[in-house]
Amino acid sequence: MKKLVYAALVAATACGLSSAFAGDATKGKATFVGKGCWQCHGYEGQGGSAGPRLANTQLPEDGLISFVHNTNGIMPPFSEKLISDAELSDIYAYLQSRPKPADPKTIPLLNLK
C-alpha cells in the first residue's frame, strides 16, 4: 500500500500534473487548522519532529491529495469522508502561499559562531 502511494506521487511529479492551484488559500488556512493538519506540520506547514515541511511543497496537487487519503506510513490517513478533494486543494493553495523562507545565511541567529 505504502509503495503504491509513493508510486502515484512519483508518477504525478514526473508528469508535472496540475500546476495551477485551483484552491483558495484563505479557506485552506482555516481547513489546515480545522482538520488538524497543523498539529504535526505546524500552523505554517513548517514541519518539525512530528511531520515534514509542507510549506511550498514540491508535490503536485493531486499527489498531495492522494497521499493524504491513502498513506499508511507514519501519517494517519484522512479519508474523503474526513477531508474532501476540494478542501485539500484549498490546503494546497495555502501551503503554496506561504512566504519562501529566507536564505539561512542571511539570518544572523543561524550563523552564530
Partner 1 sequence: MTEPRNGSGTDRRRFLKGAALAGAAPAIAATTSVAQAQVAAPRHLPSALPPNAHQIAAETHTPGPIENRIGGKPGSDFMVDVIKTLDIKYTPSNCASSFRALHESIINYGDNKAPEYLSCMHEESGVGMAHGYFKVTGKPLMTMVHGTVGLQHATMGIYNAWCDRVPVIIIGGNDLDAASRPPGVPTFHAAQDINTIVRDYTKWDDMPTSLQAFAQSMVRGYKIAMTPPYGPVAISLDAGLQQEPIGAHNSGLYIPKFTMPSPPAGEMGAVKDAAKMLLAAENPVIVADRAARTPNGIRLLVELAELLQAQVVDQGGRMNFPNTHYLARGAGVTAQADLILGLELSDFWAVVNSYTDNGEHGIGYNSAKAKAGVKLISISSVELLTKANYQDFQRFQSVDISMPADAEATLPALIEAVKSQMTSERRAQNDQRAEKAKKAFADIRGRETAAAAVAWDASPISTARLCMELYNQIKDEDWSLVASEGNVSNWPNRLWKMEKHHHWLGRSGGYGVGYGAPASVGAALANRDLGRFSVSIQSDGDLMFAPGVLWTAAKHKIPLLSVMHNNRAWHQEVMHVQRMASFRNRPSNYGNDAGPIGTMIQNPDIEYHKLAESMGWWAKGPIKDPAQLGPAIKEAMAVVKSGQPALLNVWTQPR
- Residue 10 touches which member of partner 1, ligand HEC, none, C-beta under 5-8 Å by kind: none
Selected from 3, 20, 58, 79, the binder of partner 1 by CB under 8 A is: 79
Residues that bind ligand HEC (CB under 6 A): 35-37, 39-41, 50-52, 54, 57, 59, 64, 67-68, 71, 73-76, 78, 83, 91
Contacts with partner 1, 19-38, as mask; x by CB under 8 A:
--------------x--x-x
Residue 53 is a binding residue for partner 1 (CB under 8 A): yes
| Angle at the Cα of 88 from the Cα atoms of 5 and 59, rounded to 5 degrees | 50
Cβ at position 108, least distance to partner 1 in Å: 8
Could you tell me which residues are beta bridge partners of residue 41?
Answer: none
47 binds, among ligand HEC, partner 1, none (CB under 5 to 8 A by kind): partner 1
Sign of the CA dihedral 31, 57, 46, 93?
Answer: negative
- Which three cell numbers, joined as nine digits, stand for 83? 477531508
